[in-house]
Structure 1
Amino acid sequence: MQKRIQIPDYPRYAFARQRAYRLLCELEIDRLPVDPWKVVEALPNVHICKWTVLRDNCGDTDPLFINKEGADAKTQHLRGRADYLVVYDDRVENYQRIRWTIAHEIGHIVLGHLISFDATALYRGSLTEAEYKVLEREADTFAVNLLAPMTIINRLPSVQTKSDFMELCDLSGEASENCMEELRLLKSGKKIPFPVKEEDILHRQFFRFINKFNGTEMPSLKYDDLEIDEAFDDYIDCDYWDFTLMAIRKWKLEKELYSALEGSLALYDCEDMVVFVKDAGKVEFVVKNEDIILETLQRYSDSCIKRVSVYVAKMRKKAIGQQIK
């Protein structure tokens, strides 16, 4: 018989946050609110079912004892398989509460609560009160950072009240209070620091959302407005270029280089990137600082770019005419 792994004495808050962030990164989620149903759909071994549907089709009047235990949802690890079944009580009328419940159940799965410990780890009868609370708090921390990732919320200064969380993240009042407490602890410095790698990736993914929400979007060149040599027809927009410019300014502290690149357009193809700048007088300066651009791309944008070419932007006549109007 496989020896049972001991349930931790205290909740692994940093671990739960990291796993929530990692899942958001893997699914390339880049905006709020996060849809937990879509998260489930993206997990090939996780299946979700309404309690009333399961009740009507399995011949059991109270499958998984949802009624008896007054639970909003239950998750079952299907024995002999790597699959999980999440059953939620669809009679609950509060949609936001169900969203939270599903995120909480995803947390139990992702954190390994059903396989790292006993097969019955989530059945309260087999747990001490202390063990049950540890697992529940871990799942709650996961749910908070899946539906309202604090590293993103912390970059939205106007999100401060319970109502703000309810509106932005589509949460219930109770869930929003949990988020506010998490944010308070983060700002107070009492929480263990976030995992840097996942935080950087999330910041990159949510960068456009953050700027749009904060009203800090900077005007930049657009592909359709430029006369671009046909040699670059196979090149595509660099989605993380604005994030890279922010990293050059704020994290690399290369303000002069940022100024030269501000509002530029970047296209890439495999390991090659071309950058179109607004000021012809800045082309040579940007070329001389190619190493800084490459280092920033690799470190903060997880990019495989190895060569950067710089050109002055040439506006299409139509675009110029439209601007004059």
Structure 2
Amino acid sequence: MSKYKWKLSNETYEFIKGEVIHIFEKYSIKCIPVSGFEIASKMKLSLLPYSSLSKKKLEAAMTVSRDGFFIEFDGRECIYYNDIERCYKRQNWTILHEIGHIVLDHSGYGELEEDEANFFAKYAIAPPVLVHKVGAKGPHDIYEIFDISFEASIYSFEYYCSWKAHYNMTKRLTAYEKRLLALYSASIQ
């Protein structure tokens, strides 16, 4: 996960958060850790690991991305992901990132689209309101509970702290945060 080169607009952040929650509700995603594999399956996306590719196709895939990518052909959306060089946590992040491209209806891979897909994955993998609900006290708790890389858990904790400061000032959850908590109410006590 990289730091964003530029800041998205507040409207864009809010839109992406709403899209994440919409996907969680639509496909009944209510378990922690969040699984990109589960979401992709429920969205009926084809997941193709690099290990299943011929040598020639693997070389082509690695040229496109060392992590993964999505393509659409014959009306099917397919996510290719690197299961050879990347651990499960990175594969899961990559799949969520690619789902972000699909959900946000991206037609290219420019900096803006990459930043939006990165934020989609970041928000989906550890939404601050859920980090708060599980009582995470630091990056290590997020690492353990949300099953993400330690680097991602540091970014998630920084984002959570920013969210918490805003929440402490307003004492209000957004409508989508309330919907997310309702969706997870049975699995988080």
Distance 2:58 2:140 in 1: 38
TM-score (norm 2): 0.82
Between Structure 1 and Structure 2, which shows a larger proportion of helix residues? 2
- Map 1:128-207; keep pairs closer than 5 Å: 132=111, 134-157=112-135, 159-189=136-166, 195-196=174-175, 198-207=176-185
Distance 1:30 1:60 in 2: 35
Q: 1:97 aligns with which of 79, 90, 96?
A: 90
Q: Name the SS of the counterpart of 1:154 in structure 2.
A: helix
Matched, 1:60 2:78: no
Distance 1:178 1:111 in 2: 22
Q: Name the SS of the counterpart of 2:188 in structure 1.
A: helix
5+ residue gaps, structure 1: 1-8, 115-120, 212-325
Q: 2:71 aligns with which of 72, 76, 97?
A: 76
Equivalent residues of 1:51, 1:63 under 8 A apart: no
Q: 1:149 is aligned with what amino acid? A: P
Q: Percent identity?
A: 24
Could you tell me which residue of structure 2 aligns to residue 111 of structure 1? 104
Kindly report structure 1 stretches of 4+ aligned residues shifted beyond 6 Å: none
Distance 1:101 1:194 in 2: 29
Equivalent residues of 1:108, 1:139 under 8 A apart: yes
Could you tell me which residue of structure 2 aligns to residue 258 of structure 1? none
- Cα drift, residue 40 of structure 1: 0.7
1:141-187 CA-partner distances (Å, limit 9, x unpaired): 21122221222222233x02111111101101122122112212212
Equivalent residues of 1:100, 1:143 under 8 A apart: yes
Could you say which structure has the greater relative contact order, defined with CA pairs below 8 angstroms and 6 or more residues apart? Answer: 2
- Cα drift, residue 34 of structure 1: 1.5
5+ residue gaps, structure 2: 1-6
Distance 1:70 1:111 in 2: 20
- Cα drift, residue 52 of structure 1: 2.8
Could you tell me which residue of structure 2 aligns to residue 304 of structure 1? none
Give the total of aligned pairs. Answer: 177
Instruction: Decide which structure has the larger Cα Rg and report it.
Output: 1
Could you tell me which residue of structure 2 aligns to residue 10 of structure 1? 8
